[in-house]
Amino acid sequence: MKSPQIASLAAILGIGLIGLSFAWPSFTSGPKNWSDEKARELVEVRTALHGLSHEHGGGENHSAGAPADKAGLENRRRQLESELETAQSGGATVARVLWIAGALLAAVGAGVYFAGREN
């Protein structure tokens, strides 16, 4: 293979890696990482916490177990929000690496191609 052909192939592969970097997060995240059930549970936990925030200290509506319930709900909310954040950012690091590698490969391929044409 001649140098211009290798350079062209490198540039095309680099562009392909850049394209793959944009699609990568959709391959690695989604329903397998965050389900509709988890989404519903997060909404229910947030709604329950919101309801507890409107309860005031006295009266017959105030239950003795409310502080313990609130702590348990807060822990579950934090856990679900952490899982959601992980699902949303899944594949981002790999996508970034693919994009950088693709850009470098395309730039080197294009540089070698055009440097060879001047000779």
Residue 3: what pLDDT? 80
Residue 59: what pLDDT? 45
Residue 108: what pLDDT? 93
Domain ranges within the chain, ordered by starting residue: 3-118
Q: What is the mean pLDDT of each run of 10 residues along the chain (119 residues)?
A: 84 95 80 83 92 66 63 92 83 90 94 80
Burial bucket for residue 82 (CB in 10 Å: 0-12, 13-18, 19+): exposed
How many CA atoms lie within 13 Å of 9's alpha carbon, on the beta-carbon side? Answer: 6
Closest CA to 73 of 54, 40, 50: 50
Residue 55: what pLDDT? 73
